[in-house]
Amino acid sequence: MKKLHGNMHLTSLLFFLPAMILLLIFVIGPVILAFSLAFSNYQLTGISPDDIKFIGMDNFRRALTDERFYTALQRTFIFLVFSSFIGQQFFGFALALGMKQRNIYVRRFTGACVLAGWVCPEVVAGMCFVAFYTSGGMLDSIVQSFGITPLPWLVAIPMTAVIIANIWRGTAFSMLQFQAALDKIPDSVEEAALLDGATPFVRLTHIIIPMLKRDILTNMILNTLSTIGAFGMIFMLTRGGPGDKTQVFSLFLYEQAFIRYQLGYGTAISILILVLGMTLNTLYLRLISAEDR
């Protein structure tokens, strides 16, 4: 009996073996390689490719004493706060709330319009916004119709332009999250509040939002992860410029690793970005735990 049980255990492990091999090659292997590169002087040019050395924490010390690192950190927080915390959360919630009492056809049409931006590849969406912001483009035509003089949008207000583009693309995800959350609120709760004479604002602030606190924090976690790692949209619009006015962490990492060819230093920056994301998400999870008590 024991032998049969052992053979069954071995057989079940064999079924998992292909998945374990793929996990080792494509996930665990690159993670180990990334951490090893972060503690080395590895570069694609110069003498380092032929003389790779372990340099300990030098790459991390270099990043933490680099003024441009803190500039990228500042840009990242600006992008995160206005694009994710304020923009995507607010508009996603507003759209979901606005469609809650609408008929099925309105919900489907609005949902399809909003989702079109989300399913659109990031590079394609970036190219669309380049055309939208370019001189003589649609935005210039809109502001001129109101008698306003157009601006060179990607030069005059580059961070604002990038934030608006990212809000447009990312709002659909928040809308879907909040739609599912709003559908879970029993109609009887709102009907009772309506019978008690509660205004729409009171129902929103005292019933709906308190019941959705956990969903709001969960959505914030997912938005934070996607926004910190945002690259394609910003790269297509500004490539981090003009100067470094839109150079968030992901573009700073790209510059160091793939333009300056300092892979060791670039990998160290990527680990610091990972630490930042983990720190913020740990804070959100603590807030969720506090809500559950």
Say whether pLDDT at 228 is over 70: yes
Conformation bin of residue 290: beta by default, left when phi > 0, alpha when psi is -120 to 50:
alpha
Say whether pLDDT at 232 is over 80: yes
Question: Phi then psi for 40, rounded to 5 degrees?
Answer: -125, 170
For residues 134 and 1, which has the higher predicted lDDT (pLDDT)?
Answer: 134
* DSSP-based three-state secondary structure for 190: helix
Q: Which of 15, 40, 12, 78 is nearest to 227 (CA)?
A: 78
Q: What are the sequence ranges of the domains in the chain?
A: 61-292
Q: Whole-model pTM?
A: 0.84
The model's pLDDT over 62-94, given as tens digits with 9 standing for 90+, comes to 888 989 999 999 999 999 999 988 888 888 888
- Compute the average pLDDT of residues 253-258: 88
Question: Phi then psi for 184, rounded to 5 degrees?
Answer: -80, -15
- Compute the average pLDDT of residues 167-183: 86
Tell me, what's the pLDDT at 46? 62
Say whether pLDDT at 293 is over 70: no
Contact predicate 239/130, CB 8 Å: no
Tell me, what's the pLDDT at 50? 62
Confidence of residue 9 (pLDDT cuts 50, 70, 90): low
Tell me, what's the pLDDT at 7? 59
Checking 111-120 for CB contacts under 8 A at 24+ apart, the result is: 111/175, 111/179, 114/171, 114/172, 114/175, 115/172, 115/176, 117/168, 117/169, 117/171, 117/172, 118/169, 118/170, 118/171, 118/172, 118/173, 120/169
Q: Which of 114, 153, 150 is nearest to 131 (CA)?
A: 153
- Compute the average pLDDT of residues 135-143: 86
For residues 209 and 107, which has the higher predicted lDDT (pLDDT)?
Answer: 209
Say whether pLDDT at 26 is over 50: yes
- Compute the average pLDDT of residues 104-115: 74
Say whether pLDDT at 102 is over 80: no
Most confident of 26-30, 70-74, 173-177: 70-74
Provide the percentage of residues in the chain whose pLDDT is more than 90. Answer: 9
HSE-CB at 50 with a 13 A cutoff on CA atoms is: 3
Mean pLDDT across the chain: 83
Non-local CB neighbours of 106 within 8 Å, separated by 6+ positions:
99
Tell me, what's the pLDDT at 4? 46
- Compute the average pLDDT of residues 30-37: 82
CATH superfamily of the domain spanning 61-292: MetI-like (1.10.3720.10)
Say whether pLDDT at 275 is over 90: no
